[in-house]
Amino acid sequence: MSTLVELVQHLGHPRVLVVGDAILDRYIFGNAERVSQEAPVILLRADHDEVRLGGAANVANMVRGLEADVTLAAVVGADRDGDVVRAELERAGVDCSAVFSDPSRPTTVKERFIGRAQNRHPHQMLRVDREVRDAVPEAIVDQLLNLVLSSLDDYQAILVADYGKGVCIRSVLQPIIQAARAKGIPVLVDPRPGQDYSQYHGATTVTPNRLETKLATSIDVKTPEDAFAAGKCLCDQLGLDYAFITLDSDGMALVRPDGTGQMLPTRKRQVYDITGAGDMVLAMIGVGLADGLSPVDVGRLANIAGGLEVEQVGVVPIRRDEILADLLMHERGAANKVLSLEDCRSQLEIRRKLGQKIVFTNGCFDLLHVGHVSYLAQAAAEGDCLVVGLNSDASVRGLDKAPDPPLFAEDQRALMLAALAAVDYVVIFDDATPHRLLDVLRPDLLVKGGTYDHDGIVGWELVEAYGGQVKPMGAVPGLSTTQIVQKLRVGATPISGPVPEPHFSKRPVEQAVSSIQRKAG
């Protein structure tokens, strides 16, 4: 996780060329009120409409959303819809100097009618396409190639988004692919469904989904072995450096020409709309390769970007800060939460850029019990990120209240804390006080559980001096490590009693633990 966070954090701003079919997506929203009196059809009372970029235009928009510089090479009609496509691209910051107008064809438009039943539950009722799928005229091909080939040195990657509307033909793609390969510029292709992919020969990689892979290789991809076999087939047929087989909820397979490869799994997500996921994957892989990342790393990042896309309704460009936030929230295990002070500082810098509030607490946590869990959950609910400073073994032995060695070693105590969903990071420290941690990490809020009042919280003056806040969290009556150890030594009955109900709006795991403890008591 830390490696991916660092890769995203240090991504540059490469220049990318997108070649393909530009599409305008138009949405008409309204209430599906009743059946028409004229015919047995639903009557849609439209209340607003939207236009969005589709096809290669959407890929360019997504590349731009990832903070790369991008030029689109495409063809639109000499019509009002073509003007809209150009305006939307320019508004997004995409270079349109290679977008050509063809008076002989309309701009490809997909018009969707979205109906709401009783002002809710929007569903697509009808889609109307206006398009010409014939190959673009030779005169347009010559203009496009002259412009693109003369400026190839300006780009660090080329993305081909083939939607079968006449731009991604052999006479366009082969000169670009061969020239790019000679210059060492990676070419990535998102192919259209079909059996003949020969126009992509010589590309660096392709990103077909299960259906596109089956149509091109006759291999039904159901297992990793199927994916590796299909990927090898594509590499052999097209002279690829490697292939990405996208496998929806199973992530993707990265396959090399010798048939070896690896599965790059993705996290399960709530899927709202799969539209645009393939475009987002292509954009993320393209930006990553353009910046010099490895195929494995760009595949892992593309899984995250594509996963975030399917959680959106409609086509929405995914930004770098959204990918960072997702990595920080989900792509880590307990062991990865235990960080050095410097690594923790770096992580918190990223979170601050995302506008997150940092909460800090510290202690020995020698015998983790429900009192700790309760107060850590309350502390986590005070912000977006909870950092726990953990006294090392040497530090524990130096405390007046703990003259004996700790019951559990520092690495064990750290791992137990890190296993709690409420805790984001654990930093072990040797000093008698957490002052150095507070000085380096500079949390927004310093909290402490137990019987401490404001002035009894060590470090309060340092935190408030730089503008932070300090807050006592209180204690669970009858629950402390000292009391538990004493009861265990004398063979007392199990400890029970009421556990306070913290606010668990963001921490459901601790809520479940609290409920179990209450029932057991």
The residue among 513, 450, 510, 439 whose CA lies nearest residue 476 is: 450
The rounded distance, in Å, linking the Cα atoms of 392 and 429 is: 6
The rounded distance, in Å, linking the Cα atoms of 521 and 509 is: 19
Cβ atoms 187, 177 nearer than 8 A: yes
The rounded distance, in Å, linking the Cα atoms of 23 and 471 is: 55
Tokens (6 digits) for 414: 């750290």
Residue 279 designated active-site: yes
> Active-site residue among 279, 326, 393, 444?
279
Instruction: Convert 473-509 to b/e letters by CB count within 10 Å (16 or more is b).
Output: bbbbeebbbeebeeeeeeeeeeeeeebeebebeebee
Cβ atoms 228, 255 nearer than 8 A: yes
Give the DSSP H/E element, type plus range, for residue 182.
helix 170-183
For residue 198, give every residue at least 6 positions away whose Cβ sits within 8 Å of its Cβ, in sequence order, or none: 170, 237, 238
Cβ atoms 231, 255 nearer than 8 A: yes
Cβ atoms < 10 Å from Cβ of 60: 34
The residue among 222, 264, 265, 162 whose CA lies nearest residue 255 is: 264
Query: Length of the chain in residues, anyone?
Result: 521
How large is the C-alpha radius of gyration of the chain? 29
Strand ranges of the sheet holding 120-130, from the earlier edge strand across to the other edge: 42-54, 22-35, 108-117, 120-130
For residue 208, give every residue at least 6 positions away whose Cβ sits within 8 Å of its Cβ, in sequence order, or none: 190, 191, 216, 234, 243, 245, 246
The rounded distance, in Å, linking the Cα atoms of 406 and 345 is: 27
Which residues are catalytic, by number?
279
